[in-house]
Structure 1
Amino acid sequence: MADRDPEIKFGEDRSEGISWNELMDRDSKPAPDFLKEEAYEYRGSDPIPAERYTSEEFAKAEREKMWPFVWQFAAREEDLPDPGDFVVYEMAGRSYLIVRQDDGSVRAMHNVCLHRGRKLRLEDGCADKFVCPFHAFTWNKDGSFDHAPCEWDFPHLKDKNMDLPDLEVGHWQGYIFIREERGGPTLEEYLAPLPEHFKGWNHDECVTVMRVAKEVPANWKVTMEAFMEAWHTIVTHPQLLPFTGDCNSAYRIWGDHVNVNLVPFGVMSPHVQEGQGEQWIVDEFIKYNGRSSDNYDPDGDPMAIQVPEGKTAREALGDKMREVYSEQAGYSLMHASDAEVLDALVYNVFPNFAPWGGYMPNIVYRWFPGKTPDTSVMEVRILARIKKGEPKPRGAELISLTLDQKWTEAGVLGGLGDVFEQDMENLPYVQEGLHAHKTGEVQLGNYQEIRIRQFQDTLMKYLEGTLGGGNS
């Protein structure tokens, strides 16, 4: 472990109010040990060059030296449940087909005709063969070459391997990953410690019930890093402060590829000067979740609770959520800690995958580079548990929003849409500011932005060749 920042007393409060670990010790159910284990490493205080977010040359280096060598979350199992189902996965100038085979396995291959280079498919679907719409060169769904018209004119291809180039495929908790270049850590090694942390949360028992993607006028790293710390809540999301311990959050990093931000809910932010008691915290939490509308019926809302005397809002919400989630799941979750049913346990896996942990309906983020360094696409999935004994349905279809549309236009995200829109109000001006930056330096906090520092450090390891290219 590197030297600790002399300005941070390791393991002690880093802001006003109680620390995350103190909150875990007060929770009504014991929190898993891994939620209390410190994993902070001082990574220096150097600035980040602004050109990493604006330069086409830097984006080109990412495309060539980073993206082909990392494990990427490409699809969920429920996106392609039946033989022949395929997903078109596009990332940083590459296009891939993720295809379910007859034996239930999944294969991944480049989505490019080996004749004249046309993409074979433009959107998800189901097919036994992939026929190029240009000249009808044809491949089987496992990527093997089938035939081409006028084969007499291509004698030079007779002894050439015309199978579609394939990729490594990995599976974890219902997520399907691909890696273009072989070599380096296995998927489980790459994801560590997620396999251990998520063991009881069983995302493989979940299905995608909402999926929305939106174009964003900012670099993919600018957009992603806006979701890697909680302390912007105080000014960007003030409606969350009554029930969010923004500066009570904990930040953890592991190795090169994984980190987490642990954000407590059901507690009032230390930045709120005039709180109105435990019931007020619960009422504000319910309001945020979109249950206070013109036709709101509290009798039909299981979360419209009264805080029992002697209990905190966090304890009361934890008790109710355990009850509600147990009923929804069809099996008991009464053992789960308050943190696991209530808090934002936001993990990030390098470079662009962020699944929420715990037992609640889980949010999953992905971020994609745009066609220029000044644009990106952000995708949000919501996973929900399938009730025990019920068949798993196909995943929800993607709703795509353009630059000019708002997250709230998707309709399905509820209060999350409003929160995302508040983030979007910052991002175009961050991107413009980075172009106009006089010093060309982005300054980061040592602790609350440690996840960004880890991400940037890892990115540079790939671009400099100490990770990737067989060095992972």
Structure 2
Amino acid sequence: MADADAARDFTHANSPGPSVAEIHARDHPPVPAKLGDDSWRDFGTAPLAASRYTSPAFFALEKERMWPRVWQMAARDEEFPEPGDLVVYDNLGKSVILVRQADGGVKAFWNVCLHRGRKLRTEAGHANELQCPFHGFTWNNDGTLKQIPCRWDFAHLSDEAMTLPEVRAERWAGYWFVNWDGSAPPLNEYLAPLPEHFSHWGQERNFTAVWVGKVIRANWKVVAEAFMEAWHSITTHPQILPFTGDSNSRYAIWGDHVNLALTPFGVASPHLGDIEQAAIIDAFSGGAGRNNEEAAPLVLAPGQTARAALGARNREGFAALGYPEAAQASDAELLDAWTYNVFPNISPWGGYLSNISYRWRPWPDENATLMEVRVLAKAPADGPVPRAAEMVFLKEDEPWSSVTAWGRLGGVYDQDMANLPYVQEGLHSSANDRVELGHYQESRIRHFHATLDKYLAR
């Protein structure tokens, strides 16, 4: 890998103002070396076809050749913590049940009765057995056959033949992923270097404190790509520009499945030029959506930068919330937006702000997506991990800001989502079937489509 990385061309245009590397060089303590890897790859400047987002035929190819082969995030531990708890994951007409076993492990099965094909379960819950509501065929929670009513009429079926077919399922950091056809590499290999990076930030006792979903009238890729670059803030989120280095962001790419946008906070956007450090603090306190609104006003010491002051406050705050290792963490890990993307359908935030996770999937066709946002919290070290909050499923006319549990974040998501239906409408109206992307700032989108093309070519 090192030789391959050394051979890459890392040359690209840079925004005016300091780079992420220069910003991090001023931080104290320094960012761990493993987190400073600038693993960008050049995917060129060719346009994408607008029809990739609108064509039913292209969508059918994704359904046939891509979705069955990838690892899809299906659930989190705290959704089904006790033996007999189960969750249902549906996507593109396929349905999987994940069942917590008596030994604490998890088995995943196709959610299909082997008699007449009815779904065994339509929602999450708890069950001591898996019984079909149609005729009563029943399985044990480990997938072995328990009973067939009127067994005398099914002498031709052996118990072994009637074992529920399993779906491959693997776990990382509280997330459970499924792979429909079993051809994917091991999950840790697929996710690399995510497991190594996230080991710095203590994910194992996180749980879903807020969970919100909404159907967005746009292609699933349109929705995913809205979170793959930061510079849309210039017009979509102008309130965050005084404390967000949007076009200073660093973009990193690893393998086929993982990439990162690392956006520095506590510095002004290059679009604004030089502004007073106190103005950065004031804007952050008024519009971040992620700060403690009840905290005392932050006053800069003589010569202190806004970034250093905000980092110091977060260092104390995260230590108090049960992250003792945060006391020695870098400002970058405490402040910046480490927005990872795992192909195709999950985006977990890293750093000590790693309490946001996105998931998207077609709902049900090329023109609509179920977008889900989770806010994670860390369970106290001396108690059990709480169960996941139930998902709030917003209606089409309900804004994200109607959810009060996550403070100002809902208003930011309203800004993001307001663009997306009009992107989809515009793509359908494209006169030249071209989507023009930036060379560097939208290279994660190029990477995403390059990976998609590899699956479609198989």
TM-score class normalised by the smaller sequence: over 0.9
Which letter does structure 1 place at the counterpart of 2:353? Answer: M
Which letter does structure 2 place at the counterpart of 1:403? Answer: E
Tell me the equivalent position of 2:284: 285
* 1:158-197 pair list within 5 angstroms: 158=158, 161-197=161-197
Which secondary structure state, in structure 2, belongs to the residue aligned with residue 211 of structure 1? Answer: strand
Distance 1:226 1:142, change over 3 A: same
Tell me the equivalent position of 2:378: 385
Structure 1 unaligned residues grouped into runs of 5+: 293-297, 466-472
Which letter does structure 1 place at the counterpart of 2:236? Answer: T
Counterpart contact for 1:217–1:403, Cα < 8 Å: no
> Match for 1:308 among 301, 308, 311?
301
Q: Which moved more, 1:387-396 or 1:411-420?
A: 387-396
Q: Percent sequence identity over matched residues?
A: 50
1:9 aligns to 2:11 (yes or no): yes
CA positional deviation for 1:34: 2.9
Tell me the equivalent position of 2:445: 452
* 1:222-233 pair list within 5 angstroms: 222-233=222-233
Structure 2 unaligned residues grouped into runs of 5+: none
CA RMSD of aligned residues (A): 2.0
1:317 aligns to 2:310 (yes or no): yes
CA positional deviation for 1:365: 0.6
Counterpart contact for 1:131–1:139, Cα < 8 Å: yes
Which letter does structure 1 place at the counterpart of 2:207? Answer: V
Tell me the equivalent position of 1:137: 137
Counterpart contact for 2:54–2:219, Cα < 8 Å: yes
Which secondary structure state, in structure 2, belongs to the residue aligned with residue 315 of structure 1? Answer: helix
Which letter does structure 2 place at the counterpart of 1:164? Answer: L
Which letter does structure 1 place at the counterpart of 2:280? Answer: I
* 1:6-405 pair list within 5 angstroms: 9-10=11-12, 14-158=14-158, 161-273=161-273, 275=275, 277-289=276-288, 301-302=294-295, 304-329=297-322, 331-360=324-353, 362-405=355-398
Which letter does structure 1 place at the counterpart of 2:422? Answer: Y
Distance 1:34 1:291, change over 3 A: closer
Give the Cα separation in 1 of the matches to 2:63 and 2:289: 40
Distance 1:364 1:97, change over 3 A: same
CA positional deviation for 1:191: 0.6
CA positional deviation for 1:387: 2.7
Q: Which moved more, 1:301-310 or 1:25-34?
A: 301-310
CA positional deviation for 1:162: 1.6
Give the Cα separation in 2 of the matches to 1:51 and 1:361: 34
CA positional deviation for 1:332: 4.4
Deviation per residue, 1:378-436 (Å, 9 max, x gap): 11111122233232111211111122221112222221111111111111111011111
CA positional deviation for 1:199: 1.3
CA positional deviation for 1:205: 2.3
Deviation per residue, 1:219-271 (Å, 9 max, x gap): 11000001100010101110110110001100000110110000011111111
Which secondary structure state, in structure 2, belongs to the residue aligned with residue 417 of structure 1? Answer: helix
Which secondary structure state, in structure 2, belongs to the residue aligned with residue 441 of structure 1? Answer: coil
Give the Cα separation in 2 of the matches to 1:160 and 1:222: 44
Give the Cα separation in 2 of the matches to 1:4 and 1:330: 37
Give the Cα separation in 2 of the matches to 1:85 and 1:458: 35
Counterpart contact for 2:240–2:288, Cα < 8 Å: no
Counterpart contact for 1:369–1:377, Cα < 8 Å: yes
Q: Which moved more, 1:411-420 or 1:153-162?
A: 153-162
Give the Cα separation in 2 of the matches to 1:157 and 1:239: 65
Give the Cα separation in 2 of the matches to 1:181 and 1:249: 37
Give the Cα separation in 2 of the matches to 1:97 and 1:386: 26
Which secondary structure state, in structure 2, belongs to the residue aligned with residue 453 of structure 1? Answer: helix
Counterpart contact for 1:325–1:360, Cα < 8 Å: no
Give the Cα separation in 2 of the matches to 1:252 and 1:89: 30
Give the Cα separation in 1 of the matches to 2:16 and 2:410: 29
CA positional deviation for 1:160: 6.6
